[in-house]
């Protein structure tokens, strides 16, 4: 968009082009997309020349969507950036002809590149988790070549980025479809060589694909942060089997022990689904016990949501919605307690924070282990590394002062 001459606006209502990038991994996410789309309708009524485009996993049957949302100008499949850019270019030339306002699109390099950027490195997914709509909407795995990724990261760093997070639904599968089969460890090594880039992260890992080489790369490359997101989804073997996750609870436990053994102080995050079809109270409690015993830094918990076209949506679901909610709340309460305890261990310690922005008068940044830290200071800390002494710690964030 920037190459085509656009700059970001704060509010959608002020934009010439609004691109809604969508996720439908759960029904609640899909409902939010529909809500947001409805809220954009008045914008189109007020300024018909404004463009509304929708891309991402919401975009499936385009003609049905066009009928349902006639005020949307264009729909694009997930990752179809080329389609979006071609559409905008033809829109620009039509607009120029109509208004003769070529100057309106003078090239403008934005200074709004975030300190911490996301870079997709592998699209799609080849796994068959029975609850998951991602592979139906995003297709098979496609890795981007190492050189292309390095070039993109170099560009971001030139414009002020200091940290990148390499993204993939299963980032551990990176490279197996490329000539020469470079893996994630090779990619991390290549990105590590970029000057003025200080921190590298990657997500999401899959427990069955997290090879030794990847753990070794995190342990040995100083810029790669001690932070791993490795969803377990359930702490019960029978449920894992019905989810077709491809590992047992014991294998997962051993993987966590290996990671913690090799990467001291690593920040570990996981995802959990509760109330999967057929999940008994005992099976749910097995998840609870695993989380209690493993003590993750972060747990993203979701109540199972049936998604159209998935294998699990055809299973009889005997866990009522209120029960799924109850289980979700129980896990949230447990995790709030654990995360609070873990974070309080940092009280009085000094941590290195990469400062991302100022929010409500306070500088906001993250530790290498991905913990959110706020501190107050009159200096300009944006994009700098600060040594911060922790003075207050809650489950979701910490406060401190410059050390």
Kindly list the residues in this chain that would bind ligand SF4 in the complex (CB under 6 A): 125, 127, 129, 132, 134-135, 169-170, 206
For residue 129, the minimal CB distance to ligand SF4 (Å) is 3
Of positions 116, 143, 165, 169, contacts ligand SAM by CB under 6 A: 169
The least CB distance from residue 186 to ligand SF4, in Å, is: 21
Q: Taking CB under 6 A as the rule, which mask of x and - marks residues 6-45 in contact with ligand SAM?
A: -------------------xx-------------------
User: Least Å distance between CB 231 and ligand SF4?
Assistant: 7
Q: Considering only 109-117, 280-288, 303-311, 331-339, which stretch makes contact with ligand SAM by CB under 6 A?
A: 303-311
- Please write down the long-range contacts of 48-51, taking CB distance under 8 Å and 24 or more positions apart: 49/16, 49/95, 50/15, 50/16, 50/17, 50/18, 51/16, 51/17, 51/18, 51/88, 51/91
**Least distance in angstroms from the C-beta of 238 to ligand SF4:** 18
Residues in the chain: 403
Q: 5 and 70 in contact (C-beta within 8 Å)?
A: no
- Minimum CB separation from ligand SAM for residue 130, in Å? 9
For the CB of residue 134, give the shortest distance to ligand SAM in the complex, in Å: 5
Q: Is 78 in the site for ligand SAM (CB under 6 A)?
A: no
**Residue 21: how many other CB atoms lie within 10 Å:** 14
In whole angstroms, how close is the CB of 300 to ligand SAM at the nearest point? 6
First to last CA, the chain: 40
Residue 302 interacts, among ligand SF4, ligand SAM, none and using kind-specific CB cut-offs from 5 to 8 Å, with ligand SAM
Q: Which SS3 state, helix, strand or coil, does residue 13 take? A: helix
At its nearest, how many Å lie between ligand SF4 and the CB of residue 249?
A: 17
CB 178 within 8 A of CB 142: no
Q: Cα 81 vs. chain centroid, distance in angstroms?
A: 18
- Residue 189 structure tokens: 């090594």
Q: Which of 92, 165, 170, 287 binds ligand SAM (CB under 6 A)?
A: 170
For ligand SAM, give the closer residue by CB, 28 or 93: 28
Residue 231, interface with ligand SAM (CB under 6 A)?
yes
Cα–Cα distance measured from residue 70 to residue 65, given in angstroms and rounded to the nearest whole number: 8
271 touching ligand SAM, by CB under 6 A: yes
Token readout for 109 is 């390099």
Closer CB to ligand SAM, residue 24 or residue 339? 24
Query: Shortest Cβ distance from residue 30 to ligand SF4 (Å)?
Result: 16
Nearest to 25 by CA among 299, 259, 264, 303: 303
Q: With contacts defined by CB under 6 A, name the span among 13-21, 89-97, 145-153, 299-307 that binds ligand SAM.
A: 299-307
Question: Binding-site residue total for ligand SAM (CB under 6 A)?
Answer: 17
Tell whether residue 305 is a contact of ligand SAM (CB under 6 A).
yes
Least distance from ligand SF4 to the Cβ atom of residue 328, Å: 18
Give the DSSP letter string of 276-331. -TT--HHHHHHHHHHHHHH--SEEEEEE----TT-SGGGS---S-HHHHHHHHHHH
Decide: 85 and 74 in contact? Cβ < 8 Å.
no
Q: What per-residue string of b and e applies to 368-397 under the rule 16 or more CB within 10 Å gives b?
A: bbbbbbbbeeeeebebeebebebeebebee
* Phi, psi for residue 397 in degrees, rounded to 5: -160, 170
One residue of 59, 74, 132, 161 binding ligand SAM per CB under 6 A:
132
Q: Left (φ > 0), alpha (ψ -120 to 50) or beta: where does 4 sit? A: alpha
366 binds ligand SAM (CB under 6 A): no
Interacting stretch for ligand SAM, rule CB under 6 A, among 288-296, 300-308, 326-334, 336-344?
A: 300-308
Q: Which residue from 177, 174, 167, 171 is spatially nearest to 79, judged by alpha carbons?
A: 167
In the list ligand SAM, ligand SF4, none, the entry touching 56 (Cβ below 5 to 8 angstroms by class) is none
List Cα–Cα distances, 246 to 207, 252, 259, in angstroms: 8, 10, 19
Smaller CB distance to ligand SF4: residue 43 or 129? 129
Binding region for ligand SAM (CB under 6 A): 25-26, 131-132, 134, 169-170, 204, 206, 231, 233, 271, 273, 302, 304-305, 307
């Amino acid at each position: 968009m920037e190459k085509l001459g656009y700059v970001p606006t704060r509010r959608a209502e002020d934009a010439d082009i609004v691109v809604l990038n969508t996720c439908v991994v759960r029904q609640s996410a899909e409902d939010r997309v529909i809500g947001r789309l409805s809220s954009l309708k008045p914008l189109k009524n007020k300024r018909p020349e404004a463009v509304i485009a929708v891309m991402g996993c919401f975009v499936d049957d385009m003609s049905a969507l066009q009928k349902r949302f006639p005020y949307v100008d264009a729909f694009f499949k997930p990752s179809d950036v080329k389609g979006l850019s071609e559409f905008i270019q033809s829109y620009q030339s039509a607009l120029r002809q109509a208004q003769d306002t070529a100057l309106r699109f003078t090239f403008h390099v934005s200074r709004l590149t975030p300190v911490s950027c996301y870079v997709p490195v592998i699209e799609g997914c080849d796994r068959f988790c029975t609850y998951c709509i991602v592979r139906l909407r995003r297709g098979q795995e496609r890795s981007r070549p190492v050189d292309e990724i390095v070039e993109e990261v170099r560009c971001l760093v030139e414009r002020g980025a200091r940290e990148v997070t390499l993204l993939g639904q299963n980032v551990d599968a990176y490279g197996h479809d490329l000539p020469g089969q470079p893996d994630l460890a090779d990619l991390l090594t290549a990105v590590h060589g970029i000057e003025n880039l200080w921190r590298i992260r990657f997500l999401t890992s899959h427990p069955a694909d997290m090879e030794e080489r990847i753990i070794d790369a995190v342990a040995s490359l100083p810029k790669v942060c001690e932070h791993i997101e490795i969803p377990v989804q359930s702490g019960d073997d029978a449920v894992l089997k019905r989810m077709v996750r491809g590992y047992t609870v014991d294998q997962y436990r051993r993987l966590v022990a290996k990671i913690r053994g090799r990467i001291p102080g690593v920040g570990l995050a996981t995802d959990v689904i509760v109330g999967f079809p057929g999940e008994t109270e005992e099976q749910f409690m097995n998840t609870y016990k695993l989380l209690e015993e493993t003590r993750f830094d972060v747990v993203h918990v979701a109540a199972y949501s049936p998604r159209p076209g998935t294998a699990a949506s055809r299973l009889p679901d005997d866990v009522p919605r209120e029960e799924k909610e109850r289980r979700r709340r129980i896990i949230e309460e447990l995790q709030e307690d654990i995360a609070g305890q873990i974070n309080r261990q940092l009280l009085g310690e000094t941590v290195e924070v990469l400062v991302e922005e100022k929010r409500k008068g306070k500088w906001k940044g993250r530790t290498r282990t991905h913990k959110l830290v706020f501190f107050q200071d009159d200096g300009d800390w944006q994009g700098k590394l600060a040594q911060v002494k922790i003075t207050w710690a809650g489950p979701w964030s910490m406060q401190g002062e410059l050390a």
